[in-house]
Structure 1
Amino acid sequence: MRKIPSRTPARHSVDRRGHRTVKAIVYRQYGGPEQLETADVAEPTVGPDVVLLQARAASVNPVDWKLREGYLDGLIEAWFPVIPGWDVAGVVEQPGIAVPEFAPGDEVIGYVRQDIVRNGTYAQKVAAPVRTLARKPRNLDWTQAASLPLAGLTAYQALVHALRVTGSDTVLVHAAAGGVGSFAVQVAHSLGARVIGTASEPNHDYVRSLGAEPVTYGPGLAERVGGIAPVTAALDLVGGDAVSQSRELGVPARRIASVADPAVNRIGGSYVFVRPDPSDLAALVDLVEAGKVTVEVAETFPLERAADAQRRSAEGHTRGKIALSID
C-alpha cells in the first residue's frame, strides 16, 4: 500500500508569467552567508527520469557553504541564482514518465547532486533524478532521514569501495565525532572491524557509544593509537597531518583514504569524493533499519534560517549533523 502524504502540500504562488512558484533559499553571487535569501522560484520541471518531491527536510553539509563561498568554482559549475543543498527527505508528488521505481506518496531520501550547481534541496519542492534516490528508512524522522545521504554515502563508499574493510581490519577514523565520522565508525563496526576514532576529550563517550575506541587527536597521536592496536586501514576526514600520521602508524598507502586531501592519491592512497548511488544508499537504509547505524542530528533550523545553519556548520565543531525543517 502506498503511503499518503501526512500533511497539506506546499502552498503555491504564481509569478508574473503565470508559473506556479514555491519557497526556496537562493544566493545570486558567491559570498558569505548574508548572500542567502528566501525567494519564490518556479516549481521544478518533472523530466522523464526525475521525481518531484514535496521536501520535508534537508541537511546542511560543509560543501554547501564552500560552494556558496566559491571555493569549488573550478570543480563544479554554478548557474545563478543557486538553490543550495544536496541532501533531502520528502514525499513523492510526481514521478517522471520513465520512473517505475516510485509512486505518489512514497517516502524517499536522496543525495541530489547534479552536473551543475543550480537547483538544490533547500526548497519546498525538489526535482530529483531517480538515480539519486532510495526509500526513506522507516525508523527515522524527517530531519534524521535527510541527514543520512551525503555523509552516510561518503563513509560507506570510502570504507566499502575504497578501503574494502573487512572483519579482520582495525580502522582508524580521523574526526570520528563529526557528521561523516559518526557514520564511518558505525559502518566500519557493522563490517566487523575494530575501530579507533580520534576526537576531542568531551566527545570520547559519544565516539565510544558509536562502537569505536576513542583517542585524543593532536601531537603524539601515533603513540596513543599504537598503544591500542596495530592499524590496518585509515580514513582521513579532517585533512592536515592525518594522512602522514596514518603512514607513521605503518598503514600501507593503499589502505589510506581521505575525503579532505586529494594529495593522498600521490602516495598510492584513495581520494574519495562521494557520488550518488542508489544501491549504496539502499544498503545504508538497510543498516539503519537493522539498528546498526543511527543518525545524530545536533541541531535543526527552519528553512528560513538557512544562513544561521550554514554559519553553524562552518564553525566546524558540530557533533553529528545539522538539518533544515521544511514546511
Structure 2
Amino acid sequence: MKAAQFSRFGGPEVLEIVDLPDPHPGPGQVRIAVRAAGISATDTKLRSGEVSFGATLPQTTGADVAGVVDEVGDGVTDVAVGDRVFGISDDHASAAGFALLSFRAVIPRALGFVDAAALPVALETATRGLDQLRIGAGTTLLLNGATGGIGSTAVQLAVARGARVIGAASAANHGYLRTLGAEPVTYGDGLVERIRTLAPHGVDAALDIAGSGVLAELIDLAGTPERVVTVADMAGAEKHGVHFSNGFVDGPAFHALGEIGALIEAGRFWLPVDRTFPLDGIAEAHRISEHGHVRGRLVLVID
C-alpha cells in the first residue's frame, strides 16, 4: 500500500510517500480501506520530534481516519465488512491505503468520509477536557483557542451540555464563534479585562487549547489552578500547577465517537473542513497546519 512516512525528524519536507506491506487485523481490530485521513497537531509534533511517545524511525503518520471495513479480527462484533467507520489509527498510520482500528464507530449517516475523518482526535480531546472540568448545565467555560478543530468541537459540545462558553480567538473569527454558540473575545494584552466585561466574577473553568502562555491569566479568571486544564502547554502546566490533559496517562474519552451522531443528526454539531489534499500533498497540509490560521480541520483524501 501507499503510505506517508518520515525517516528523520524535521519540517514537512521529511515526509515521503512509500510502499509498505498491507496490514492485517489482530483480535479486536478491524482493517479499513482508507478514504480520508485528518491532520492533527499531534501529527506535526511527532514529525518534528517535539514529542515521540517512544516511537522509533521510520514512522508512519496520522491518527484521524475514515473508510470502509474490509477485514475484521477475532472477536469483532460491533462492525462488519462493508461498514463505513471512523476512528483512531492504532499505529498512527492513517495517511495510507489501509489502517487498523481498535477504537472506532459507525459514521453517522449525515456525514461523508471527509467530514468523518476530521472528527476523532478533536472529539476525544475536547470531550476529555470537558469531562475533567465537569462542564455541564449552568457552568461558564472559557476556551483559549476556540476556532481550530479541537476548539470548534469543544465549543459545541460544551454548549450542548448547557454551558455558557466564552471563546478567545482572533477578531476575524468572532462571527464564526458566534455561529457555534460562543461569546467571542480577542487574544492578546488585556484578555483578562475583556473577559471580565462579559463575566465580572470570572469563569467556572478554563480549557487551554492554544498553548499560548496564558495559564496564569486563566487561573486568575477561574480562581484556582484546579479549575484549569490545558491540552497544549505541558511546561506551563508544570509551572502553574495546572493539569495537563493527556489521553495516554488519563485514559482516552473514546466514548465520544459513538455519541456524536445524535448531535449531528439533530443539527447541533458541525466541524468544518478548511481544506483537503491528496496523499502526496501531505507536506503542504502539515505546513499549513503549523503556520496557517486553520478554521476547523485539514483532511487528506485517499484514492
TM-score, normalised relative to structure 1: 0.87
1:285 to 228, 246, 261: 261
Query: How many angstroms apart in 1 are the aligned matches of 2:247 and 2:136?
Result: 20
Aligned to 1:41: 20
Shift of 1:169: 0.6
The answer to whether the 8 A contact 1:232-1:252 is kept is no
Indicate the residue corresponding to 1:137 in structure 2: 108
AA of the residue aligned to 1:214: P
Q: How far 1:291 sits from its partner (Å)?
A: 2.0
Measure the CA separation in 2 of the matches of 1:33 and 1:48: 34
Q: Does 1:60 align with 2:39?
A: yes
| 1:240 to partner: Cα distance | 3.2
Matching residue of 1:325: 301
Q: How does 1:53-132 map to 2 (within 5 A)?
A: 53-73=32-52, 76-114=53-91, 120-129=93-102, 132=103
Looking at structure 1, the residues matched to 76 and 152 of structure 2 have their Cα atoms a distance apart, in angstroms, of 33
Read off the aligned partner of 1:60 and give its amino acid letter: I
Q: Which residue of structure 2 aligns with residue 193 of structure 1?
A: 163
Describe how 1:269-284 pairs up with structure 2 within 5 A.
Answer: 269-274=242-247, 276-284=252-260
Contact 1:150 1:274 in 2 (8 A): no
Aligned equivalents of 2:108 and 2:96: distance in 1? 21
Amino acid at match of 1:189: V
Counterpart-to-counterpart distance in 2, 1:315 and 1:41: 30
**Structure 1 residues 277, 216: closer, same or farther in 2, change over 3 A?**
closer
User: Runs ≥4 in structure 1, deviation > 3 angstroms?
Assistant: 265-269, 274-278
Q: Greater CA deviation, 302-311 or 244-253?
A: 244-253
RMSD: 1.6
Q: Distance in 2 between matches of 1:108 and 1:199?
A: 32
Q: How much has 1:235 moved relative to structure 2?
A: 0.5
C-alpha distance in 1, partners of 2:187/2:220?
A: 14
Gaps of 5+ in 2: none
Q: Which amino acid aligns with 1:146?
A: A
Distance in 2, Cα, partners of 1:215 & 1:277: 28
Q: Specify every segment of 5 or more residues in structure 1 that has no aligned partner in the other structure, as ranges.
A: 1-21
More displaced 10-residue stretch of structure 1: 238-247 or 175-184? 238-247
Deviation per CA, 1:116-169: give whole Å up to 9, x if none: xxx51000111222xx11111211121110000001211111002x10011111
**Amino-acid identity (%):** 41
Q: What SS does structure 2 have at the residue aligned with 1:238? A: coil
